[in-house]
């Protein structure tokens, strides 16, 4: 009797594997993909609507066992979620409870897994009974009819859904004696950081000749779809296990460990007494004039943050008017702000600053322009 295992990699900015027991104010996610979610994903890729998925695909997919290895668990995130548009919030007297007397939308909360990575194995114990099933699934996931998503439509995947099996002739399926073996033997991913010494796996259990009854540590999940129209689920047994690092696993070598040890960059502290004194001195030495356009200056600009935070020298600072300061700040945002500081006295920046000033003048409100006109006359308005 031959077996076959297809590997999927579920990764994305957000995933939400809604557990069917929390339908109300807080909608939780399982910590790993649910079977109904994965089957829904496959049916979407196959282009099967609710009825054809229920009639044609669920009976075929029923024989597949699903296991998950949590390669990176991600972290939880909550966002609001609106439901029940048009339902209305009713008072005890049977009236709709808002001042417009129109039906309302309810705001609930939904939990997401942020940045998680799951290895999902779909294991077929009797390939002979449906020899093309896993290939059909793999083809559909390679060329999906409808957009695949990770539990909710707002959760797109961030990489191809099929995982290279690294064994056997089919690039994404392999032959393993059991689901457990498939999840243990599949290589650990390289994320550029060292993985823990053990990973969690959740393996679906079903009876066979060697184990006719569920082991005591098995728990029940109600996530096996029996119909999509209307949605209905049945239970399965799942066993939680820890998988130790394979001997072949080598932690990644970080090319530049210093990158992670580097100190926080220095920041300006505008409340620091030393800095405030230096700032005043700079303005006084510049006769309270902008070093760029020579109009009255009230701002002082850092040309380096090397000594920022109170140890600035006079040479680190430049007096500027509000308009030149805004122009320079906007130019710096286009660059790497901390690495590239713009010195208004450097002739290389002259043209860029003039252009940016023009742009600002054109886009600012009349009110702002009037305020500037009190201190200077920009060339466009002369």
Nearest CA to 266 out of 315, 311, 331 is that of: 311
CB of 327 to Zn ion, least distance (A): 8
CB of 322 to Zn ion, least distance (A): 8
How deeply is 177 buried, as exposed, middle or buried, from its count of CB atoms within 10 A (0-12, 13-18, 19+)? exposed
User: Within the chain, where are the H helices?
Assistant: 35-46, 50-52, 58-61, 133-142, 179-185, 258-261, 273-285, 322-333, 350-363, 366-373
CB of 292 to Zn ion, least distance (A): 4
Residue number, 119 or 321, with CB nearest to Zn ion? 321
Nearest CA to 33 out of 113, 109, 133 is that of: 113
Residue number, 113 or 327, with CB nearest to Zn ion? 327
Nearest CA to 316 out of 277, 282, 274 is that of: 282
CB of 323 to Zn ion, least distance (A): 6
Output DSSP code: residue 347. G
CB of 293 to Zn ion, least distance (A): 3
CB of 325 to Zn ion, least distance (A): 7
Query: How many residues comprise the chain?
Result: 382
Residue number, 119 or 290, with CB nearest to Zn ion? 290
Peptide bond before residue 230 is cis, with ω within 30 degrees of 0 = yes
Tokens 């109600």 found at = 222
CB of 381 to Zn ion, least distance (A): 15
Residue number, 140 or 300, with CB nearest to Zn ion? 300
CB of 284 to Zn ion, least distance (A): 17
Residue number, 144 or 378, with CB nearest to Zn ion? 378
Residue number, 90 or 288, with CB nearest to Zn ion? 288
Question: Which H or E element spans position 371?
Answer: helix 366-373
Residue number, 173 or 283, with CB nearest to Zn ion? 283
Residue number, 61 or 293, with CB nearest to Zn ion? 293
- CB distance 178 to 198 below 8 Å: no
Residue number, 120 or 290, with CB nearest to Zn ion? 290
CB of 346 to Zn ion, least distance (A): 15
CB of 289 to Zn ion, least distance (A): 8
Collect all residues with Cβ–Cβ distance below 8 Å to 72 and sequence separation of at least 6: 115, 116, 117, 191, 195
Residues that bind Zn ion (CB under 5 A): 290, 292-293, 321, 324
How deeply is 239 buried, as exposed, middle or buried, from its count of CB atoms within 10 A (0-12, 13-18, 19+)? middle
Whole-angstrom distance, CA of residue 222 vs CA of residue 36: 9
Nearest CA to 203 out of 244, 236, 160, 165 is that of: 236
- CB distance 360 to 329 below 8 Å: no
In angstroms, the first-to-last Cα distance of the chain is 90
Residue 269 zone, left/alpha/beta (φ > 0; ψ -120 to 50; rest)? beta
Collect all residues with Cβ–Cβ distance below 8 Å to 157 and sequence separation of at least 6: 10, 11, 12, 148, 149, 150
Residue number, 139 or 295, with CB nearest to Zn ion? 295
């Amino acid at each position: 009797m031959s077996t076959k295992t297809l590997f999927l990699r579920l990764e994305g900015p957000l995933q939400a594997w809604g557990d069917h027991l929390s339908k109300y104010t807080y909608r939780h996610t399982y910590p790993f993909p649910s079977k109904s979610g994965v089957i829904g994903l496959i049916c979407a890729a196959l282009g099967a609507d609710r009825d054809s998925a229920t009639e044609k695909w669920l009976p075929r997919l029923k024989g597949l066992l699903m296991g998950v290895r949590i390669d990176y668990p991600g972290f939880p995130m909550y966002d609001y979620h609106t439901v029940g548009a048009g339902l209305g919030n009713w008072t005890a007297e049977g009236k709709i409870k808002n001042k417009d007397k129109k039906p309302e939308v309810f705001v609930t909360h939904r939990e997401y897994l942020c940045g998680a990575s799951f290895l999902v194995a779909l294991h077929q114990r009797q390939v002979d009974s449906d020899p093309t099933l896993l290939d059909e699934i793999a083809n559909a996931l390679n060329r999906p009819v409808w957009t695949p998503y990770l539990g909710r439509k707002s959760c797109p995947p961030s990489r191809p859904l099929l995982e290279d099996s690294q064994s056997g002739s089919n690039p994404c399926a392999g032959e393993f004696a059991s689901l457990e073996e498939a999840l243990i033997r599949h290589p650990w991913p390289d994320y550029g950081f060292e993985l823990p010494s053990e990973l969690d796996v959740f393996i679906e259990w079903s009876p066979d000749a060697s184990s006719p009854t569920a082991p005591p540590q098995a728990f029940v999940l109600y996530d096996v779809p029996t119909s999509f129209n209307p949605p209905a689920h049945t239970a399965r047994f799942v066993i939680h296990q820890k998988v130790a690092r394979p001997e072949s696993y080598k932690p990644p070598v970080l090319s530049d460990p210093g990158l992670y040890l580097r100190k926080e960059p220095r920041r300006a502290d505008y409340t620091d007494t030393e800095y405030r004194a230096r700032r005043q001195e700079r303005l006084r030495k510049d006769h309270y004039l902008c070093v760029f356009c020579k109009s009255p200056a009230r701002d002082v600009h850092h040309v380096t943050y090397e000594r920022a935070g109170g140890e600035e020298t006079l040479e680190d600072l430049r007096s500027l008017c509000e308009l030149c300061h805004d122009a320079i700040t906007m130019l710096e945002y286009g660059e790497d702000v901390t690495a590239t500081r713009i010195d208004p006295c450097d002739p290389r920046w002259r043209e860029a600053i003039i252009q940016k000033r023009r742009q600002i003048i054109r886009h600012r409100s009349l009110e702002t322009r009037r305020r500037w006109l009190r201190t200077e006359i920009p060339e466009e308005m002369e």
